[in-house]
Amino acid sequence: MTLFKLQLEKNRSIIINKNVFFMNSKYLNVYNNLVNLTRNKSLYKSFKFQDSFSDRLIFFLLHFAFFLKVFKNESDKAILQEIYDYIFRQLELSIREIGYSDQSINKKMKDYLNLFYSMIDKIHNWENLSLETKRSLLMNFLNNDADAVFLADYFEKYYLKLLNNTLNSHIKGVVND
């Protein structure tokens, strides 16, 4: 075997190992879209205190909960499971980058997963809830003095936007407004 072929094989091995460790990035568009939605400054305009990582994470998880709610009826549940795994792996990596210890990360991830499942449970019948119930539901997840009227309207529009797009369009990053 020539040196070139040996180096090529080694590089292929490294690439395969990186893909296994970092997971396939074909759902990066979904993740980036959720992150961009979370960075929307209007979500934080009524906060009396500076927004924190926790506040941003709550908004991230709310967006993701709506995403899963809309697309859970899609025929390919395996893709949604892969997206879910990818998103939470990226979330764990983000928490590690902040500098939490391994023990703290496990506890934080458990707390965030419990919060996420609570969100999914609460928004399950979103379309059948009254405006006041929607406001109250959103305020249960936020610790700041957020504008409940604005947030209920915002997430209603986001929900409708999700309904008007396909899962495939989100995966490919070509979402229509």
* CB within 8 Å of 44: residues ≥ 6 apart: 51, 55
The pLDDT of residue 29 is above 50: yes
CB burial of residue 134 (10 Å; 0-12, 13-18, 19+) = buried
| E strand intervals along the chain | none
146 touches 47 (CB < 8 A): yes
Cα separation, 78 vs 83, whole angstroms: 9
Instruction: Give the SS3 label for residue 22.
Output: helix
58 touches 115 (CB < 8 A): yes
The pLDDT of residue 73 is above 50: yes
> Among 19-23, 107-111, 131-135, 167-171, where is mean pLDDT lowest?
19-23
Enter the pTM of the model.
0.81
**Would you state the pLDDT for residue 15?**
55
> Among 34-38, 54-58, 110-114, 154-158, where is mean pLDDT lowest?
54-58
Helix, strand, coil abundance in the chain, percent, nearest 5: 75, 0, 25
The pLDDT of residue 163 is above 70: yes
The pLDDT of residue 21 is above 70: no
Residue 82 binned pLDDT confidence (cut-offs 50, 70, 90): very high
- pLDDT tens-digit series, residues 133-144: 999 999 898 866
Of the candidates 175, 137, 173, 154, the one whose C-alpha atom is nearest the C-alpha of residue 41 is 154
Residue 20 binned pLDDT confidence (cut-offs 50, 70, 90): very low
The token pair at 157 is: 């529009």
The pLDDT of residue 43 is above 90: no
DSSP 5: H
CB burial of residue 14 (10 Å; 0-12, 13-18, 19+) = exposed
* CB within 8 Å of 37: residues ≥ 6 apart: 59, 60, 63, 158
